[in-house]
Structure 1
Amino acid sequence: MRCTVKWFDAKKGYGIISTKGGKEDYFVHQSNIVMDGFRYLCEGDIVDFDVIPGEDGRNLAVNVTPFLTMKMVEDSLKEENLYVKKVKADKNTIIMNALGMKKGYMVVDENNVIQAGEQGMTFLDLAAYAGFDTEGLSA
């Protein structure tokens, strides 16, 4: 199954993966993330996983494998000396407001000059800007 990370608390080591539209949530523990080193996810990351029923009745995400992550996007942009900056919606972020986004992203250079996403971009827009194929993906 492929879904989006709704939230993840790296300090506590757990979070929620959600289907498009938030119709179904899956609990994820860091011990079920397949990656080397410190295992964590970021809000908006797209992951592949299997589901098993938990003892407490919640659906558990296991064998969680990152598919497209913020770290991948940031690493790709760094190769061009570009960086991701998070932005919150306000009266000046017209596009974010129109899309109902509370936060988004922009791309800046080493001098903090905006290169893309002045009005804020979604994670998938950011990934596409960084050169990833996002066709068919949804967040």
Structure 2
Amino acid sequence: MQKGNVAWFSAGKGFGFITPEGSSEDIYINIKIVRDAGFEALESGQAVGYETGEGQDGRPSVVKLTLL
């Protein structure tokens, strides 16, 4: 599982981004993944563990999430 921090997240918009440890390239996260992990929202700066997969547009996207 990779580690990173929430760059920003908007429950109203239904998505956000995570900045991986040691990288500046943010990774998309959909609210469905957040809710599947048992949460309603994420806070900027929050430490998370995550796994990535290919998103609908072919770019990396978070597919599994846990709070650290």
- How far does residue 22 in structure 1 lie from its aligned partner after superposition? 4.5
Q: How far apart, CA to CA, are the structure 1 residues paired with 2:22 and 2:12?
A: 26
Q: How far apart, CA to CA, are the structure 1 residues paired with 2:31 and 2:67?
A: 12
Larger radius of gyration: 1
Q: Are 2:38 and 1:35 equivalent residues in the alignment?
A: yes
Larger RCO, structure (CA 8 Å, separation 6 or more): 2
Give the TM-score, by structure 2 length: 0.81
**Unaligned 5+ runs, structure 1:** 68-139
Classify 1:64/1:35 alpha carbon distance in 2 versus 1 (closer, same or farther; 3 Å).
same
- How far does residue 53 in structure 1 lie from its aligned partner after superposition? 1.1
- How far does residue 40 in structure 1 lie from its aligned partner after superposition? 0.7
How much identity, in percent, do the aligned residues show?
Answer: 31
**Unaligned 5+ runs, structure 2:** none
Q: What is the Cα-based RMSD across aligned positions, in Å?
A: 1.5
Matches within 5 A, 1:1-139: 1-20=2-21, 22-33=23-34, 34-36=37-39, 39-67=40-68
Aligned to 1:32, the other structure's residue is in SS state helix
- How far does residue 13 in structure 1 lie from its aligned partner after superposition? 1.7
**Aligned length, in residue pairs:** 65
Aligned to 1:62, the other structure's residue is in SS state strand
* Structure holding more strand per residue: 2
Q: How far apart, CA to CA, are the structure 1 residues paired with 2:64 and 2:21?
A: 20
